A and B are shown apart, each in its own frame.
Chain A
Amino acid sequence: MDRFARRRRLVGAACGIAAIVFAISVWGCGSGASSESTTTQAQSTTTHARPPHRKPQAPANPTAPPQVTTPKGVKPPKHLPPLRGHRHTGTIPARMLGPDPQTPFSTNVISPVRNGWVVSDHRRFTAVYAGASGSDRSTGALAIFRQNFIQVTQKLKVVKVAGAGTVKITRAPLGKGVETSAQRHGNIRFSGGRGITGTLHLKTDKISLG
């Protein structure tokens, strides 16, 4: 009895494995068509999800951007490992910017901009812009913009000093030789209205007043 039972279990298991293998092979064989089908479906879904006037008129010029739809015959998205960038050969010695320097920010973020400070080594770039919050000029704002050339990332941080009015940078590390250290733990001194002073610590992106 035990022998028959064991044989039945083995046969059953073998059948089960065969069924799974068969299923996988069928799914795999059809994956190309299935993928295309899925893509088409996704495309259709995307189109329906748009507002009625989503499709603009045919652009009059050939440089018009295409519709951001999934093209036919293209595999669905898959996760690709992130790429890395490269070291830059050039650097920017730490220097002051201004007055009224150009920034990558909206006037909603910081406006007016009194001055700024910028530095980059072979791997990173850091800029600090000083001024007032675009929505409230009684609030001082220091906008910190960073890029990492190797990781290919850019980050934005805005720290505010409520009540200080428009602030400006009064002292910062300058020149060659501080391109790396200043970005990591440089201290940027600033002043606001009527004696308000403080320091922006780039190590923590925090402000200490006084």
Chain B
Amino acid sequence: MSVTSGPTGPTSDPRPTFGFASPDSSAAFRCSIDTGTPDFGACSGANSHRPASDLADGSYTFRVEATRASGDSSTATRGFSVEVQAPVDATPPQLAVAGDLADADGQPLRADSASAQIQATDDAAGDSGIARIEVAVDGAVDVTNAVACNPSCPPDAGSTYTYEASDWAPGEHSVTVRAVDAAGNAKEVVLHVDSSAPQAASGAGTATAERVPAASKRRGAPQPVPAWYMNATNRHDLLIAARDDACAVARGQPNHTRLMLLNFGQARRGKDGSFGARLTLAGKYFDNGEIFEALKAAANRYRSTKCHSVGSAVIAYGNTNNMPHEMGNSEARRAGRLQAAKAHDLFRYERQQQAARSGGGFQFLGAAVGGDIEPGWSKPRISKELVDGANGGAGGTYFDFGNVGPCNRPIQNHWNRGDLGVVSRSEFARPLPEIYATCNAGQWIHVRNHWLRTHSRGYRFHGITSEPRIAGATMSPGAGWKRLNRKSSGHVGRELVNIRYSR
């Protein structure tokens, strides 16, 4: 006697069919499907059995008893379980928020009215689907958007919804966006906006005069220092761009700029063994000779067209951003030495030109090497090797944009405060910490204090680097400058590096 077919483990069929057979063809059969105690009755077929109604979810035993003509009987059994109900959805939905409110998170709200586009999804296997989306302002639910399929959403339900609000009361507000699925799981995104001083929405990041330089009109406030990213795909374009861009950017500044950063990208070794830099934007490599020609073109233009009616200027080049994973420490050191040599050459060239031509509105042009020395981007110690290489050669002056990483993480790439102090020390560098949030000032105060404890010479900041109203920035450039200046007892210069500038 044996059970020949039918489920042996879990089955989603609430009415499974079992087959059985006996070597004695004259045997009579009785069947039972039970949860422990046999309850035999007639089988539904001659050699098979199917329950008359759906079985509830649970574990069962199928039994078949064969009774021969002699009165002997034998029984065969098979265990199985019925699992028809879907598994419970314990996963919260996915929720994303874009638009004005998301862009303004942590920052001032730019306009009286603002919108947010909301997408909620809950469509993975076993998910129950979105039931509703709620938007609460300062804890009070403002809008509930019930999805049409509520309360029983199909598994592939998703929802997008646009929330719009106007007439924000002045002050800080929290906006809580909440998505709830049919199983009751919820996901929240909380945004914080400040509508204390609503301002007219501006274009897509268009630089306007009141943004950065406004503070510069006051005594003691930061002065803008434009950082211009050189961009060219061939030597001709590089020369033309250097010639025109530096002067044009300088003349676009209020009161004209005194300090100009021409960013030629990351120091690199070329395929031909030369050293130079790869432009960050175009991704094109130029060797130091080509860069030097471009720097001379920029310097000549400065003089010949009187870009500066007043003041002095520096052309800085070089950039250690995201430094050379393809260069080793010794190569980085050599790159720094060669870069410094070119800066020295440019300095001498400019001195000769100015000696030959007296007068002119533009008094002095210095060359600096390096810039944007950020441990946040750099392979450990590579930037320091670059700096050491330059200092071991002709010497270099560095513009340190000073980003040591986001506030909630330690200084990146295993840098320590001592190395940062060395790289950014005032003697050879111009520490220009990036101050986007309160903690950034604290990070750099630690670096400065460490330096002061271990060295006899002073350490002062030449200014800050900051971007107004940008993702991750919760402080305005003016506020950032003031905080660093206060924390360092007034040892902060007035330079404010920014890739935006006024035209």
Contacts and interface: CB of A to CB of B under 8 A. Distances in A.
Interface of A: 39, 45, 49-54, 56-57, 59-71, 74-78, 80-86, 88-92, 97, 102-104, 106-111, 118, 120, 125, 127, 133-135, 139-141, 143-147, 149, 151-164, 192-198, 204-210
B310 A63 contact: no
Contacts of A146: 205
Contacts of B258: 68
A196 to B, nearest CB: 4
A108 B434 contact: yes
Nearest to A113: B322
B490 A52 contact: yes
Nearest to A78: B309
Given A84-B248, A90-B232, 16 more contacts: A51-B485, A53-B491, A59-B397, A61-B344, A63-B367, A63-B394, A74-B310, A89-B236, A89-B237, A102-B280, A135-B408, A151-B503, A162-B105, A163-B96, A204-B204, A207-B98
A81 B282 CA distance: 29
Given A67-B312, A74-B309, A147 B124 contact: no
A109 B470 contact: yes
B94 A107 contact: no
Main SS of the interface on chain A? loop
Contacts, number: 327
Interface of B: 94-99, 102-103, 105-106, 117-119, 121, 123-124, 158, 160, 177, 187, 189, 191, 204-207, 219-220, 223, 228-229, 231-234, 236-237, 240-241, 244-245, 247-249, 251-252, 255-256, 258-259, 263, 265-266, 280-283, 305-307, 309-312, 314, 316, 321-322, 340, 343-344, 346-348, 361, 363-364, 366-369, 374, 376-377, 394-397, 401, 403, 405-408, 412, 426-428, 430, 434, 436-437, 440, 457-458, 460, 465, 467, 470-474, 485, 490-495, 499-500, 503
A208 B503 CA distance: 31
A85 B301 CA distance: 12
A77 B309 contact: yes
A86 B248 contact: no
A70 B310 contact: yes
A193 B94 CA distance: 8
Nearest to A91: B233
A54 B493 contact: yes
B326 to A, nearest CB: 12
Contacts of B232: 88, 90
A157 B500 contact: no
A57 B251 CA distance: 30
Interface centre among B123, B282, B408 (most CB of A within 10 A): B282
A132 to B, nearest CB: 10
Given A63-B367, A74-B310, A147-B229, A107 B374 contact: yes
Given A74-B363, A135-B406, A135-B437, A160 B347 contact: no
A85 to B, nearest CB: 5
Given A62-B344, A104-B229, A107-B377, A196 B311 contact: no
Contact of B403 (A107, A145, A204): A107
Contacts of B236: 89
B344 A110 contact: no
A11 to B, nearest CB: 43
Return the 4 tightest CB-CB contacts between A and B, nearest first: A61-B395, A90-B233, A157-B205, A209-B119
Nearest to B368: A65
A134 to B, nearest CB: 5
B204 A155 contact: yes
A74 B358 CA distance: 12
A69 B403 contact: no
A210 B119 contact: yes
A168 to B, nearest CB: 14
